[in-house]
Amino acid sequence: MIKKTTLSILFTIFIFSIVTSQNLELSAFLVPDELKENANSVIRFEDLHIDMTSQRDMTITKKIAITIFNKQADDNADISLPHNGRTIIKSVKVYYYDAFGKEIKKVKKKDFKDYSASGGLFSDGRYLYYSYTPTTYPYTVYYEYEIKTSNTAFIPQWFPLNSYYQSVQKSVYTFEYPSNIKLLKSENNFEGYDIANVEEAGKITYKGESIKAIEREPITPSFSSFVPNAKLGVSKFNLEGVNGAANNWQEFGKWYYENLIQSTLDLPEKTRNEIKSLTASIEDPIEKAKFIYKYVQDKVRYISVQIGVGGFKPMRASAVDNLSYGDCKALTNYTASLLSEVGIESYHALIYSGSGKKSINSDVVSQQGNHMVLYVPISNQELWLECTSQGTPFNDSGDFTDDRDALIITPDGGEIKHTRVYDDKENHQKIVGKYILSNEGHISAEVKMVSSGTQFDNHLGYEGRSNKELDKSYKEFWDNINNMTIDKIVVKNNKKEGKFEEDLSFVADNYGAVSGERMILPINAFNVVSYTPKRIRDRKLPVEITRGYYKVDVVIVELPSDYKIEAMTENIVIDSKYGEYKLTIEKQSENTLKYTREFLLKNGKYPKEEYKDYRSFRKKVVRSDKSKIVLIKK
């Protein structure tokens, strides 16, 4: 039986179909209810077809229709297609339809804008872009394009679901390849989804249907780590004009070294002699490496220039020597050249940078990563050097590249290695301070703060800032303290010890709130956590605390002469599997208190059911941090 409303909609569609061009299948009314749940948009169908006809020829054809329910999903109606000399957009067409599937707009290739993709100094990458302004909701965008490229080193991946708040009605992915090529694949998180894969000679197909939208939640693993996906690679490929062949990481690394690295290690004679004589008196190889790392940090700066294969092949060491700048590849390569000159072996490492801890996928031998660092094995130690930053301590690059798989490139081949893992307690911040409270509630304070591990990263940005900016930064850092006037700021990047040191003194009016006879004093002045993860009524995703940390505050408080303590919070101990919190207040003399705050947050992965417990732990911390002491006039 057809419901009345459905009937009237069908009738309307019927009317429209007579008068104007339309596409019945694209009517927004045909989206099943379960795919509307939590969805700002739904992919009605996606057909991604990749046809690799030879090692250096690949055609990518995509047809996709997305129905957009509200303005949060408007981004999906904008189309951006990257291209450069070796990647050519053969055709692109876009149609927009209203809720009934009636065509509202048609866009041709000439309507697109062509932009430079340059983020740094220069890149030859460009993109075609079209942005659409919706007039009604829901609406549907359909587009199809054909791209030809010789860059077979990157086979587009299959992520049927590629963002939060989007569901998928149907998604098909086909990859065809020549018989002389071996396919490498990595299939992840298919369980629990309606996904079929068919493999035949020279062809692989994935098909997914009815995939529900996922709502974003705080403290989760990264999206790409839990949604279904397939990543492919091929045994023979071409990278910006350079042919390559590899069946395993060893072969891939060897190809990379021979084609993209070997010829760039050309340090000029003068510099070679200079670095040798500068390090001649240093015995310990680690100390030598440290010296060279600092030499590079003092000499160069990061500038990105990406042209053709230069997007993958480092700029020559001689050019970096001459210009004193380069991108991550160039600077890594330069450091490697210098180290090699003094007899220290080091290897370029391809890696994904960023706090998300994304690893090189070891199942698919292929060009991966978005960054390069230097791997240095010395005296049974594995060191990782970040060569683009002038403030990073030696072998201590924090959350930018910690705890993940990287591919190291040696003359003999490639190998997957895991980068440095920071223990929760290594991510340390220590505050030693004192504040004097006046009879009016004003405080004058002295704070010394030292940060290391990934906590170092939070403060590194302060180095080199002007006093005016620092003044602003610290007033924001201590947003629990109002009416601050800072009279001393000393920041020091103690790179040598991997510590960031800050030394401040300031005064602040009305810190203690005077009410009648009493003064209320929030005892913990220098480290107040006010963030609680928000309440989620029906948690669906697992909990992941990516990094832990350990913060300790030891602070002396001098109380005002006219007051005595009326009431004091008791010492607090919160012990949970997610971390430990301790607040201890000791009376040192008649009007002197000492408080110690210790907060250890542990990294970890927990099932979704534990989100509530974790949240309640954090709520307790927030509450404890606000603990107050009540003073009363003597």
Partner 1 sequence: MKKVLLTMLLLAFVQVSFSQNYKIGKVSKAELEEKTHPSDPSADAAYLYKNRRTYFDYREGEGYVVVTEVHERIKIYTKDGYNWATKTISFYAPESGDTEKVSIKDAKTFALIDGKVKSYKLGKSDIFKEVKNKYWSKKKFTMPNITEGCILEWRYKITSPYKGIEDVVMQYSIPIKKYESSIEVPEYFRYSVKQIGYLPINVVSTKKNSSINFSNSSRVQKGGLYTETSYSKLDYNTNVAKIEKDNIPALIEEPYINDIDNYRSSIKYELATIKWPNSPAKHFAQSWEDVAKTIMKNSEFGGQLEKTGHLKDDITQLSETFTTNTEKIYGALEYVKSKIKWNDYKGKYTDNGLRKAYKEGIGNIADINLTLVAVLRELGINANPVLVSTRNNGVPTFPTLSGLNYVIVAVESPQGTVLLDASEKYSLPNVLPLRVLNWRGTIVRKDKSVGFVDLSSSMISAEESTLSYKISEDGLIEGMNRSKSKNYAALSYRNRYGSLKEDAIISEIEENNDDIEILNFRLSNIDDLSKPVVELYKFEKEEGAEIIGNKMYITPMLFETTDENPFKIETREYPIDFGTPWEEKINVTIEIPEGYSLESLPENVAKGMSEDLGSFIYSIKNQGNKIQIASLIKLNQGIISANYYQEIKEMFKQIVAKQTEKIVLIKK
CB 257 within 8 A of CB 250: no
CA separation for the pair 355, 341 (Å, rounded): 33
Stretch that binds partner 1, among 47-55, 75-83, 114-122, 413-421 (CB under 8 A): 114-122
Stretch that binds partner 1, among 192-200, 220-228, 241-249, 527-535 (CB under 8 A): 527-535
106 near partner 1, rule: CB under 8 A? no
303 near partner 1, rule: CB under 8 A? yes
CA separation for the pair 358, 407 (Å, rounded): 12
**516 Cβ neighbours under 8 A, 6+ residues apart:** none
Shorter beta-carbon distance to partner 1: residue 323 or 432: 323
Q: What residues are paired with 494 via a beta bridge?
A: 499
Rama region for 430: left / alpha / beta (φ>0; ψ in -120 to 50; rest): beta
User: With contacts defined by CB under 8 A, how many residues of the chain interact with partner 1?
Assistant: 65
Phi, psi of 346 (to 5 degrees): -150, 155
Question: Taking CB under 8 A as the rule, which mask of x and - marks residues 210-239 in contact with partner 1?
Answer: ------------------------------
Could you tell me what percentage of the chain is helix, strand and coil, using 3-state DSSP and rounding each to the nearest 5? Answer: 25, 40, 35
Q: Which residue in the set 163, 390, 439, 591 belongs to the binding site for partner 1 (CB under 8 A)? A: 390
Rama region for 468: left / alpha / beta (φ>0; ψ in -120 to 50; rest): alpha
Pseudo-torsion of CA 273, 278, 284, 290, nearest 10°? -100
Instruction: Read off the tokens for 622.
Output: 């927030």
529 near partner 1, rule: CB under 8 A? no
CA separation for the pair 222, 460 (Å, rounded): 25
Question: DSSP letter string over 29-73?
Answer: GGS-GGGTTT-SEEEEEEEEEEEEEETTEEEEEEEEEEEE-SGGG
Q: Which positions from 531 through 550 interact with partner 1, judged by CB under 8 A? A: 532, 534-535
Q: Which residue in the set 182, 518, 582, 594 belongs to the binding site for partner 1 (CB under 8 A)? A: 518
Identify each DSSP E strand in 396-465 by its residue range: 405-410, 413-418, 428-437, 443-451
Shorter beta-carbon distance to partner 1: residue 197 or 444: 444
115 near partner 1, rule: CB under 8 A? yes
Q: From the CB of 603, what's the least distance to partner 1, in Å? A: 24
Q: Which residue in the set 203, 301, 492, 612 belongs to the binding site for partner 1 (CB under 8 A)? A: 301
471 near partner 1, rule: CB under 8 A? yes
In this structure, the strands spanning 325-326 and 305-306 are unpaired
Q: From the CB of 312, what's the least distance to partner 1, in Å? A: 19
384 near partner 1, rule: CB under 8 A? no
623 near partner 1, rule: CB under 8 A? yes
Q: From the CB of 141, what's the least distance to partner 1, in Å? A: 14
121 near partner 1, rule: CB under 8 A? yes
567 near partner 1, rule: CB under 8 A? yes
49 near partner 1, rule: CB under 8 A? no
**Amino acid in the structure at residue 319:** A
Task: Tell me which residues touch partner 1 (CB under 8 A).
Answer: 70-72, 104-105, 113-116, 118, 121-122, 131, 133-136, 298-299, 301, 303, 305, 322-325, 390, 464-469, 471-472, 475-476, 479, 482-485, 509-510, 513-518, 520, 532, 534-535, 566-569, 619, 622-623, 626, 628-630
